[in-house]
Amino acid sequence: MMIRSLPIAGRTLADPVDPSLDLEEEIARLKKDRNAIVLAHYYQDSEIQDIADFIGDSLQLAQAAAKTNADVICFAGVHFMAETAKILNPNRVVVVPDLEAGCSLASGAPADKVAAWKARHPGSILVSYINCSADVKALSDFIVTSSNAEKIVARIPSETTVLFAPDKNLGQYLNKKLGRSMILWQGTCIVHDTFSERKIEGLKLRHPKALLLAHPECEDVVLRMADYVGSTTGIINYATKSDKTEFLVATEPGILHQLAKAAPNKTFVPAPPEANCACNECPHMRKNTLEKVYLSLLNLEPRLEMNEALRNAARVPIDRMLALS
């Protein structure tokens, strides 16, 4: 199989990748040839994290996308993240390893239903978690991520009626923390909703010195047990700076790769799901593979495309967030 010598236009996405290729080397070559960067979320497979130019949480990835001078952005994350990169970079090519990599929060908040919800609350402000479609972003007054939501919501006058979509767990966490009564869309993340209170209790007994670090997309029952609640970057920073050496981690286990690098002498135990399954791994994030990253850079497909009107409307609340972050 002489894939390397095939003209790019002659390939189809279904072509197999020559197993003898050194994908890391090929990706490095393509990044240089195409003036491309790879942005990766912490929930990607470790081999994707290792070839990325930048790894971060949702806010940092949006900030990196806003700053780049690359001609091509390969977004190793999920669809809403790549959409955000495209909204911020209309003139750059944004490719995604797998266009089907979605998000239960985004798919659980269809724009027509969110628009109808908003219409039932005239005079309200819609704050949307970045894990939503571009259409929902276009309806929103503010976009927030798990690392800036508290700061941004705190700035909204307390007498304002605030609708918060789509994550009810993050919304409830913010309501409690800030003493607010935002009206919550009832969406959840299929990954963070699976952690088992019972099994975490068991782990705490077996690791009595361990601190529980949890993402705010987790259920309230898990957040109440946590010693620290924060975004993926927040969790990494907290564990790195802490004088403690053992941690239970209630978020997608892809983060363990960077935790181990940042704090090699500390122990990280992933929080288990209730069922006997690997359902604490995000099935959307894990659709991406190193092969698909390589193919997306080789073919410059699949591309993220969006019409200008939608892009412009969705950009307004994203720019507000970036200005406040």
3-state secondary structure of 37: strand
Select the binding partner of residue 296 from ligand 13P, ligand SF4, none (C-beta < 5 to 8 A, by kind).
none
Q: How far apart are CA 90 and CA 35, in angstroms?
A: 16
| 105 token code pair | 């929060």
The full length of the chain comes to 325
SS3 at position 285: helix
What gap in Å lies between CA 161 and CA 149, rounded to an integer? 16
Residues 302 and 96 sit within 8 Å (Cβ to Cβ): yes
Give the SS3 label for residue 318: helix
Q: Which range of residues in 89-97, 141-149, 155-163, 187-195 is near ligand SF4 by CB under 6 A? A: 187-195
| Total residues in contact with ligand 13P, by rule CB under 6 A | 11
Query: Which of positions 100-139 make contact with ligand SF4 (CB under 6 A)?
Result: 103-105, 131
Q: Which of 58, 220, 26, 224 is nearest to 144 (CA)?
A: 58
**DSSP-assigned beta bridge partners for residue 268:** 247
Quick check: 98 binds ligand 13P (CB under 6 A)? no
The alpha carbons of the chain give a radius of gyration, in whole angstroms, of: 20
Residue (285 or 300) nearer to ligand SF4, CB? 285
Stretch that binds ligand SF4, among 12-20, 116-124, 279-287, 297-305 (CB under 6 A): 279-287
CB of 61 to ligand SF4, least distance (A): 12
Site for ligand 13P in 55-74 (CB under 6 A): 57-58
Instruction: Report what 306 binds from ligand 13P, ligand SF4, none; CB cut-off 5-8 Å by kind.
Output: none
In the sheet with 246-250, reading across from the earlier edge strand, the strands are 228-229, 211-214, 246-250, 267-270
Least Cα distance to 166 among 181, 151, 183 occurs for 183
23 versus 268: smaller Cβ distance to ligand SF4:
268
Question: Per-residue contact track with ligand 13P, 119 to 148, x per CB under 6 A?
Answer: ------------x-------------xx--
Q: Residue written as tokens 């750059």?
A: 92
Does position 214 interact with ligand SF4 (CB under 6 A)? The reply is no
Count of beta carbons in the 10 Å neighbourhood of residue 52: 18
Min dist CB 187 to ligand 13P, Å, is 12
Binding at 145: pick from ligand 13P, ligand SF4, none (beta carbon under 5-8 Å per type): ligand 13P
- State yes or no: residue 280 binds ligand 13P (CB under 6 A): no
Site string for ligand SF4, 69-98 (x = CB under 6 A): ---------x--------------------
